[in-house]
Structure 1
Amino acid sequence: MKVNGDVVSLDIEPWVSLLDALRDRLGVTGPKKGCDQGACGACTVLVDGIRINSCLALAVQYDGREITTIEGVDHPLQEAFVRHDGLQCGYCTPGQICSAIGMLAEHAAGQPSVVTTGQDAPPRLTEQEIRERMSGNLCRCGAYNGIVQAILDVSTDGAGEPGR
């Protein structure tokens, strides 16, 4: 697999999660083991640009795929999170940022969410849309307002206008 731009080869048991392979075998510590049940999103990474919970994925499933963790991210969201206080303790931040990058790509591709109204393609990215789309990522510190503002800050709707 390719992890953050580097091709890596692992000889691992078939039951090892992608999260454990990244953290324990490759020393990539950005993705966090929060709940280890796919409920918190702290382990979110991008696989070929699509966000997944790495604690629920078996590493062997991703042979030949491109994995991006926060260590491999260079995105305006990182500065926006700081600017809008979208983090406090920082534990969830790597997963939040990776999830937000994947979410913005889903939105740009016109994928609707549960709260999407109308037939807009892509749907207008509102605070309600962002909160729904990011609902799989939890923050114990409650930095949700800053996270939403950071995403709004770097996002555009289908017309190239800010998604507010």
Structure 2
Amino acid sequence: MTRKSEQRRKIIYERIQREGSVKVTELSNDYNVSSETIRKDLDVLCEQGKIEKKHGSANRIDKYSHIPLRVKREDHREEKIRMAACASKLIEDYQTIWLDAGSSVYTMLRFLSPRKNLTIDTNSIEIATALAGSHHRLIVVGGLLEPIGQSLVGPFA
């Protein structure tokens, strides 16, 4: 992938966010590339969970919860690291804590290894997987799997 296509995808994504929906033909004309090139760009953005593709157009994903956690983890990364570092200072050895399925919470995992004997409750499949080999006690609640956010939700959770 070239730097030029990365820049074009970034601009296309920003435009979709701003306008809500754009047509492949408009993008092709505006950026002076083929419709096939635009479709490939949209495929990449769709695979990243940033947009929804429809026949002949692309749409903004209006619900942040519909964006995969792996994508959300990269949004505002530096801010999340600073926030996670501060929040982790509030956690003491031998505590029981709840970690939800959020991307900011996931960022905090790197700061928990120095703590001793934590009991960690979570509804997040990704957090549970990341902590599976840790020295902490891990409790994963049950529930209905929400596949995009990789979390367990509903009355059982």
TM over 0.5: no
| Larger strand proportion of the pair | 2
Larger Rg: 2
Greater RCO (CA < 8 Å, at least 6 residues apart): 1
What's the TM-score once normalised by structure 1's chain length? 0.29
Which structure has greater helix proportion? 2
